[in-house]
Chain A
Amino acid sequence: MSRTAVEIAAAVASGAASAVSILEEHLARIDEREAEIHAFNTVLTDEARAQAAEIDRQVAAGHDVGPLAGVPIALKDNLCTRGIPTTCSSRMLEGWRPPYNATVVERLAEAGAVLVGKTNLDEFAMGSSTENSAFGPTRNPHDLSRVPGGSSGGSAAAVAAGFSAVALGSDTGGSIRQPAALCGVVGMKPTYGAVSRYGLVAFASSLDQVGPFSRDVADSALLYELISGHDPRDSTSIPATLPSVRGHLDRGVEGLRVGLIRELLGETLDGFEPEVLAQTRAAADTLAAAGAIVDEVSVPSTIYGLSAYYLIAPAEASSNLARYDGVRYGHREEGGANTAAMMRASRTAGFGPEVKRRIMLGTYGLSAGYHDAFYGKAQRVRTLIIDDFAKAYENFDVLLSPTSPCVAFPFGAKSDPLTMYLNDVATIPSNLSGQPSISVPFGTGAHGLPVGVQVLAPLLGEPVMYQVAAQIERAAKEPLLQETLLKEGRS
């Protein structure tokens, strides 16, 4: 049915297909299924049509068009788009139109991508199911009774449903990789600092990264190359030329050392579904069959990642979200007797319960007397995790784990916050360590729903990470192998 970004860009640039016709295919699918899926907060039909027509004019005039010419793209609604609503799925920012573009948005526009809409998310990216959106949840295109994952659930669903060829999300504790896994698409979190955060509405500044959703690994690699690179507007942006990754996709994995993270194989942690574990081991087996050296490796402190994360991320969030006070932008409750009362009322009305929960958790963790025990300690645990990963990478080129302990779950299944938080156990360590990781679809689990396998690599290890991801993808496309492995009862 739908073509990949690489195919679309080639077809548009060569004149084999028009950007307008490509866009109309996607708009038709949106027409057909958006009402039931609710991937978008805003669909930009007119703007996208104008943009696609302009690309076609450029092609007709013989101008050079960019590497994403005519590629329909969706953006998580926490990426600032000039003059276009950017709500973070919060009442707080309903109707807010940034007067500037995020750096990644500018880079995509330069590359010729056509923006079809802004996608739904858990409010301010806080959640793992997109149930926390103030504008209603997004449904999983594979099963409408289930969540798409989160927080970038709208972007994952948009790509899975063919509403756009690719999408961008943000990943603070797994918010790209987990919904990618649950929706059966590729989702990648780059090395911290590889992609500019300028214009990404902050959740937890030391953990947030923008990354791509796509239907295959090659599109992911292309998107990564286009959005990454130094940005002087972000002080944490890596001031170096990053290695290209696309040349690594076809190299195979002969001789590469692949470590299965023992702590994330479900033996010490609850909640991992056997089918998910079986697929992860199956993916490892296909890598071994392709010539990789596969072994298990212990990264002991990963199990503390969750605790560290739920102390660090809310702390940073509590400060990042202080600015929503009703003074300069966003929701204001009128009638307060003084500024403080107005601020209090505006924040109380503007934020949903999950956001309030995390703001309070973070405020508590930073407040006098608790800072050292909570935030300070968590930042030290973070160092332990980084050190443990460093040890693992002495013997392995990449590490492997499930992306999510389970496949897409029904709405309301994890209504208790802690239960929901535990869902992030496998994705969080990469955010704490800043290392890149990618979720690649690999077969199905319970109820025939998609499973994602996660490939982790050291800082700036995107080339080898993509190399392995591409191999897993090739194996995943061999249905026979899939069936054989599952029948062997690897669970």
Chain B
Amino acid sequence: MPEPLTPDVVAKVADLAMLELSDDELQTFTAQLAAVLEHAHDVEELDVDDVAPTHHPYPLQNVMRTDDPHPAVDAEVAAAALAMAPSVEDGQFRVPPALGEEP
């Protein structure tokens, strides 16, 4: 298992998750997350190197749909989605200016 959790690591994780933490929250969360991870240490004793991971409990594959457009609800959905959006202009979602570019 990796190193014990520190406030530094938790701050970095909060940043990745787009969350801001106060100093108090940082301390509390660090302790709480560390306790959960500490408990999770019990899986360390299991040797699972040769065990395949389970991604889906009910194994399926090749689930696909045909390339047929959806009948006519799209305009309605778009209108409803725009109507509920926090900020809209000219049929588009308005956001503060982007900084940085897409990875």
Interface of A toward B, CB cutoff 8 Å: 96-97, 99-100, 191-193, 206-207, 232, 235-236, 238-239, 301, 303-304, 306-308, 310-311, 318, 322, 325-332, 336-345, 347-348, 351, 353, 356-357, 359-361, 363-364, 367, 369-370, 373-374, 376-384, 386, 416-418, 421, 432-435, 459
Contacts and interface: CB of A to CB of B under 8 A. Distances in A.
A318 B17 contact: yes
B56 A99 contact: no
A384 B97 contact: no
A99 B77 contact: yes
Contact of B57 (A97, A359, A373, A386): A386
A10 B80 CA distance: 38
Contact of A238 (B19, B25, B58): B58
A136 to B, nearest CB: 22
A347 B19 contact: yes
Contact of B18 (A347, A361, A373): A347
B36 A340 contact: no
Given A307-B42, A329-B85, A344-B19, A379 B13 contact: no
Nearest to B97: A338
B74 to A, nearest CB: 11
Contact of B33 (A96, A304, A348, A360): A360
A97 B85 CA distance: 11
A379 B54 CA distance: 5
Contacts of B84: 96-97, 329
Contacts of A330: 86
Nearest to A338: B99
A383 B52 contact: yes
A416 B32 CA distance: 8
B60 A360 contact: no
The 4 A-B residue pairs with the shortest CB-CB distance, nearest first, are A434-B57, A379-B53, A99-B80, A380-B48
A316 to B, nearest CB: 10
B58 A381 contact: no
Contacts of B48: 377, 380-381, 383-384
B57 A432 contact: yes
Contacts of A383: 48, 51-54
A125 to B, nearest CB: 18
Nearest to B81: A99
A364 B43 contact: no
Interface string B63-103: 10100000000001100110011110000010111111000
B93 A328 contact: yes
12 contacts: A191-B58, A327-B93, A332-B87, A336-B96, A338-B97, A340-B98, A359-B19, A360-B13, A360-B29, A363-B17, A364-B5, A417-B32
Contacts of B32: 357, 416-418
A381 B43 contact: yes
Given A347-B18, A348-B20, A310 B54 contact: no
B13 A367 contact: yes
Interface residues of B, number: 53
Contact of A338 (B41, B93, B96): B96
A207 B6 CA distance: 30
B54 to A, nearest CB: 4
Contacts of A373: 1-2
A418 B54 contact: no
A235 B10 contact: no
Contacts of A380: 48, 51-54
A364 B43 CA distance: 17
B95 A339 contact: yes
Contact of B9 (A232, A356, A364): A364
B94 to A, nearest CB: 9
Nearest to A194: B58
A105 to B, nearest CB: 16
Contacts of A348: 19-20
B69 to A, nearest CB: 15
A435 B58 CA distance: 9
A344 B18 contact: yes
Nearest to A349: B20
A193 B60 contact: yes
Nearest to B10: A360
Given A207-B57, A340-B100, A364-B5, 19 more contacts: A329-B84, A329-B86, A332-B87, A336-B96, A339-B97, A340-B99, A344-B18, A356-B19, A356-B29, A360-B14, A364-B10, A377-B43, A379-B55, A383-B48, A383-B51, A384-B51, A418-B35, A433-B57, A435-B57
